Amino acid sequence: MKVGRSMFRRTKDQKGFSLVELMVVVAIIGILAALAVPRFQTFQAKARQSEAKTNLSHIYTLEQAYHGENTAYVAFNGVTSANCTANNPIGFKLSDCSKVRYDYSVANVTATTFLGTANNVNANRRINPSSSCSNTIDTWQIDQDKNLRVTNDASQC
């Protein structure tokens, strides 16, 4: 019995950690990482969605200014990462083409209504790449009354 106990006791000249102690620490770090990574990815997805919300709010402001001058709203298609500085009637442009995650357009235009849309559709610009439904399109919309809504929320997958 003394032999078994002496294996776990340290003498004065022994320093450092045992393999068991190191494995316990590694296991604890692994458990903490497994809990933290999904929360971080959800937080990151919501932060990326703020891009769409901000740009749709900007589209709303530009559409209202255009409506004030022309008494009508105007449609446009395809402000994307490929053509983020494209000219459109309201002057909407994206400042940094390398970080664009959404494609923007305005449709369903009448003299008194419009519907601005932001779609995250490109697979390499997914909202939450590690989720099981990561190919879900993330879609946000704004209308002439500044009603901002999500029609597909890929961050909730």
57: in domain = yes
* pLDDT, position 29: 96
* pLDDT, position 126: 47
12: in domain = no
Which position has the higher pLDDT, 120 or 126? 120
**Any idea which of 34-48, 92-106, 115-129 has the lowest mean pLDDT?**
115-129
Number of domains in the chain: 1
The CATH code of the domain that includes 55 is 3.30.700
The confidence band for 117, taking pLDDT boundaries of 50, 70 and 90, is very high
* pLDDT, position 80: 76
7: in domain = no
pLDDT at 116 over 70: yes
With beta carbons less than 8 A apart as the criterion, state whether 66 and 74 touch. Answer: yes
Residue 51: name the closest of 39, 40, 59 by CA: 59
Which tens digits make up the pLDDT trace of 50-108?
888 999 999 999 999 999 999 999 998 877 767 777 778 888 888 777 777 888 999 99
**Any idea which of 84-88, 109-113, 147-151 has the lowest mean pLDDT?**
84-88
The confidence band for 133, taking pLDDT boundaries of 50, 70 and 90, is low
Q: Which domain holds residue 100?
A: 17-156
* pLDDT, position 44: 80
